[in-house]
Each structure stands twice: as C-alpha cells, then as structure tokens.
Structure 1
C-alpha cells in the first residue's frame, strides 16, 4: 500500500491541499463540534446553514461579487449547466419577448474548444431558439480542424438580440484560454457584445477550470457564471453559480407563455429562494470547498493565486519551448491563447510519450496523460499544485529532453 502522496497533475478531479484534506478528515467524524460527521448531519442544521453562508461570503468577498448577483450551490457539474442556462435564459427571454417565435429567438455560442462545442450541441438539442455559432476557432487553427487558438475580436459575429451569449473561459481539454490582458486580441471581446434594450448583457461564462484562480473580468456584467468545483476549490459533486438577479425568473409563468418547462432543481429562482437548500446539497464537497476558500483567504486570496499561477505556467511553457528547440516536444496552442491551467503538448518520436509518462510516474508524478480525444500530454496547474511540485516537473522535463537529445544524436 502506498504510504506517501504523489504529485497529481490530473485535470479533474484535481489535487487538493493536504492541510485541507487533513482537516476534512476530522470533519468527517465531528463537524463543528456537533458530534456528527459532515456526511451525516442535516443540511438544515444551524451549523451547516451557518457554514454554507460563510462559503458564499468567502466567494463574494474574494471575487468581489456585487449585490446584484446571487451565489448558488447545486449539483450536476458544469455539464448540467449546459442545459440549465438554456432553459432559464430562454424562460427569461420568453417573459421579456412573448411575441417572438422560437425561430426568432437566438442563442450565441463562442466555440474555442471541446467544452464550448458540447455546450452548443446541447443548446441545439434542447431547441426553443436557434443556436448560432458566433465564432468557431477551428477555422483559424493550424490544421483547420483543431481548437488551438482564440481568434481576434473582429472575427466574432454576434446576433443583435441574443437570449444568451455563451463562452468557456478556459478549455480544459484543448489548453486554450482567453487572455487576461483586455488589450490583447485574444481576450474575450466584452466591448463589442450587443446589449439588450435595458443595457444588460445575457452573458454566460463557463469558468469551471479557472474559477478562483484569478479575477473574472466584467463579472458584474454577466448574467450567469458557473463552475464545477473539482478543479480549483473542491471535490466533484458541487457546482457554483453566480446569477444576476434579473435571471431568477418565474419559469412556470414562462412555461404558460410557451417556454420549455424547467425542472424545479434546475430553476435558478428555486435555488435562490431555497438558499441552495431546496433539496439536500452536496454537504461534503461544500465543506471541503469552504476549507479551501478559508485557506485561500489566509494566503492572500486571488492576488496570491493569480501571481502563483502565472509563475507556474511560465515555468512549464519555458520547458516546453526548450524541448521544442531540441525537437523533443511540440506545443499545441498558438501564442497568446495558451492556458495557465492546462498546458498541452506532444512528445515527439515513436514510443516517446509512453516513456515520458512512465518516467514521470517513477518519480512520483501522475495525471499527465492528455484527454482521450486529443492525446498528448496535459499538465494541469490548478491552485493546489504548488510551485515546488511544478519545479519538480520542470526538472524532469529538462532531464527528459536532455536524454532524448543525447539518444537522437548518438
């Protein structure tokens, strides 16, 4: 039986801070001195209600979420939100514009990777409006079929009056992420988005794999932000929603006007009115997430983790470039579109990828194999991956490149 922990570079569920896991283990036996474990206690107990309220407060303060937005906790992962955002925002649009037919309603999708593509296909499957591709980054890729870039702002074609505008901030599978520099052409084009007559934006941001790693640009202008917890802040089983209050609509009233009926557990209004306790939530994931957020705050919050994330990513990308110069590695993503969270590259040569993975595992590093749909190597640098962990990987990458180069020149 393994007695020590390995370094986990997996894309999710991802690594968690050891100090948090140790404290969570105590909470499994005795939560908040109740004598009852967190996995056993009532979600309506005063202790848990106080705890979940504090989790909300920690997110609100660290992300600077304005009072115009509610913070909700639900289940089903980000993938369930592919459906929920469509149902809720089409219900909202039906209430605002009951005179329009389904063909006259449109949902805009920005496709920059595998997850935004999946979200678009779900919107298309559900119907209720036309699903429009406002941008397909594959057209601008090196091979014309892969997701390897974020195109410049003048390539977007938004509809004039969308029911929703969807984007995925970081594509975990493909390693593509919008630049945090608002002046960069690879940033998200907030300034050219079409607004509603009220001035609001029906903007939906999937931040699952970058949530709580750095500030969210234009957060207050979003209609909905959602994130699965299992990348940066907790285990699988919890999804965090940040919903502008005008999107907490009466879905039953919308259904009477012809909108698709929304299951109660997917209704944002139901979640908000029940303070995320309409049904039994994921108590253990919420508990661990709360412990992670408390630790984040103690370390300096988003400013600390943004700086840490930048350093980690720069180190790994530098190692990839050094390997490219020696003909050992090959980066997949075009410059300016590279993810801080998920570094994707190939190891060149017959059997080289397997040797790279086997060698990494021998020195205590796992979770580096790329997604089955794209292959290659994927280094996930979520918040709990330390700089020391990253340095160990970089040292291994340099050693692998040196040995591979020596082998090729022999």
Structure 2
C-alpha cells in the first residue's frame, strides 16, 4: 500500500534508511546483536559517532573549529542550554513563531532579552528584514523555519555578534554558508533521523567566555570533552542519522536537495494559489519550502470533512494543521518524493472540480 506521508515530525525518512536501520535492529553488522543491544562505548558505536560527525562537517563544509554534538531533550532543552552557556547579560531574539516565542520565554530566565522583531500581531505570517542587531549583545538567536505556520528565513544577517539558529525543521534542506553561524541546533525528527536526538553544531571558541557555574549536562564544553556520551546517547537515532547523511551525499549534496525542495514547494504553492477552494496566508517572500500551510477559503465544516475523507481514502496522512492553528499543513521534507506532492495536487484539483 502506497502511503503519502506529510507528517511534520516525526516524519518521512528515505526508504533505504528505513530498510538499513530496521535490519540493524535485528542483526547489526552481522554481529548477531541488535543495534539496540550494543554498548554505547563499544568500538562499533564509537565508529558510528565518528563517521556521523565527519559526514556532518563534510556536508555542511565546516572545519574543526566546530564541534558536533548528539544530545537529547529536543530543541526545547536547547532553549535553556543556549543562554546557560552563552548569555552573560543580554541577547537579541527574533519572535517569528510558536517555537521562537518559547525560546524567548526560556532565555528571559537567564538575562535580558531584546526582541528585535515580533510577528505575533500578524499571526506570524511574515518575517521582517528591517531589524538591527545592537553590538553589545552576547548573541543573536533566530529560527530559520517555523514549522507550525509555514514561514522561512531566506537570508540571515551579517553581523559580528555570534549567530545562534534553531534549524529544527529545515536543516540540510538547502545550501548555506554554515560558517556564518556560531551555533546551530536541530531536533532530528524532520530531515535527519528518528525522534529522540538533537544535533548541536557549535563553534568551540564561543564557549567558556563568562565565569558561571553550569550543571554538567547543560554545559556544551563537557559534552564536547565526552564526545556526546556523557550519558547514554540515543544509539539508534545517531545510527539513523549516519544513514541519512550518507543518503544526502548520494543524492548529490545540499545543492541538489535544495533544487528538488524548491521545485516541490513551487508546484504545491502554485496549486494553492490558483485553486478556488484553498488559500495560503503567508507573505510570498517568506513561504517555507518545508512546511506548506493552507486553509479552505471559507470556513465550511462539511467541506472540511469531505476533504479529510478523501485524503484518508487515498492514503494521504499527516495533513492536519497544528492544533493551535487548524487548517492543513503539508510537510515536504527532503525524503518526501515528488510523486507524493504531485498526487496531493491531483487530489486538490479533483476536489476543486467537484465542489466549486
């Protein structure tokens, strides 16, 4: 049965990654052991974490100035870890969506937060470029892609202030100069791996600048010293990350994936724009290539039920909008095939023809 998976996360993974990771659960590397049974301090796992680290650096074109960490606690824990490690007095934030807003709330517990822009009064439907980062900030924090509403930053500010970015829902979906960021964090369950692991990419020289007592688990430097195994890491998710990173290289790297993602997104947005029943409320220059939100133009519960029924019948899953927003959301991450986007578009066309 062919299922078209538009879930926002945990989300679609490449088929070959699913096959290899599933096999590893039964018999890892012909060892007679499951991947779930091996020691996180064994040579086998140390080789996995070393290879995964090298793949991240190679794909993102980063040098050894950066440390790659594989942690737990999701992006939500990073909302606190970032200011714990980097904030001395104050930091600048962009409030571009639900998760950015939560990051601000947590950072305020550690010092002064300067909100340079908030899209809240416009329901987060756009991201301003008209903001200035004061030179006395400890760091500047932004969220590259806002999963719930479906906005995405297309450019990032040029500044001498350390730039911290939550890339949870669009990491490795496009080619960027990743060296412009001092710290990147991303929960894995969108474009990298299964749920339960968070990747942190941190420039080592930004750490330890201020004298403060940080609990061990919250201290990036201690995680670096322990090669991400201060405690037992998510072995399965790290292994699946390695497989996904190999898949990304085999696809041709980020430039190729960016082209594919832009093409998929354009097809779907074009259909929404010309379909008489649906609409997208995001400013066009801020539309996300990863999470496409759309709504019925007129609030019609019967029509909504009908569309939901058709999607269920056609094995289209994960289209429900976030519980805070409603409507629909098609998450079209790296591994979602073009075929699934084209199939959804055909369903939308047929729906329009039947009910317009």
Query: What residue is the counterpart of 2:116 in the other structure?
Result: 134
Residue 159 of structure 1: how far off its partner (Å): 2.6
Residue 18 of structure 1: how far off its partner (Å): 2.0
1:387 aligns with 2:338: yes
Q: Measure, in 1, the Cα distance between the counterparts of 2:287 and 2:80.
A: 28
3-state SS of paired residue (2:31)? coil
Query: What residue is the counterpart of 1:345 in the other structure?
Result: 294
Q: Measure, in 1, the Cα distance between the counterparts of 2:227 and 2:79.
A: 22
3-state SS of paired residue (1:336)? helix
Conservation of the 8 A alpha-carbon contact between 2:86 and 2:207: no
Any residues of structure 2 matched to 1:4-403 within 5 Å, and which? 4=1, 6-90=3-87, 93=88, 105-124=89-108, 126-127=109-110, 129-138=111-120, 144-151=121-128, 153=129, 155-179=130-154, 187-188=155-156, 190-191=157-158, 193=159, 195=160, 201-217=161-177, 219-249=178-208, 254-255=211-212, 261-323=213-275, 326=276, 328-349=277-298, 350-351=300-301, 352-403=303-354
Conservation of the 8 A alpha-carbon contact between 2:6 and 2:330: yes
Q: Measure, in 2, the Cα distance between the counterparts of 1:267 and 1:5.
A: 45
3-state SS of paired residue (2:183)? strand
Task: State which structure, 1 or 2, has the greater radius of gyration over its C-alpha atoms.
Answer: 1
Residue 35 of structure 1: how far off its partner (Å): 2.0
Sort the Cα spacing of 1:109 and 1:363 in 2 relative to 1 into closer, same or farther, 3 A.
same
* TM score, norm. by length of structure 1: 0.83
Q: Measure, in 2, the Cα distance between the counterparts of 1:5 and 1:70.
A: 40
Q: Measure, in 2, the Cα distance between the counterparts of 1:48 and 1:233.
A: 18
Deviation per residue, 1:202-244 (Å, 9 max, x gap): 2100001001111233x21322100111001111111111100
CA RMSD of aligned residues (A): 1.5
Q: Measure, in 2, the Cα distance between the counterparts of 1:313 and 1:170.
A: 14
Q: Any stretches of 5+ residues in structure 1 without a counterpart? A: 94-104, 139-143, 180-186, 196-200, 256-260, 406-410
Q: Measure, in 1, the Cα distance between the counterparts of 2:218 and 2:165.
A: 17
Q: Measure, in 1, the Cα distance between the counterparts of 2:47 and 2:348.
A: 46
Residue 247 of structure 1: how far off its partner (Å): 2.7
Q: Count how many residue pairs are aligned between Structure 1 and Structure 2.
A: 354
* TM score, norm. by length of structure 2: 0.96
Q: Measure, in 2, the Cα distance between the counterparts of 1:86 and 1:355.
A: 47
Conservation of the 8 A alpha-carbon contact between 1:347 and 1:356: no
Q: Measure, in 2, the Cα distance between the counterparts of 1:343 and 1:210.
A: 12
Residue 150 of structure 1: how far off its partner (Å): 1.4
Residue 373 of structure 1: how far off its partner (Å): 0.8
Q: Any stretches of 5+ residues in structure 2 without a counterpart? A: none
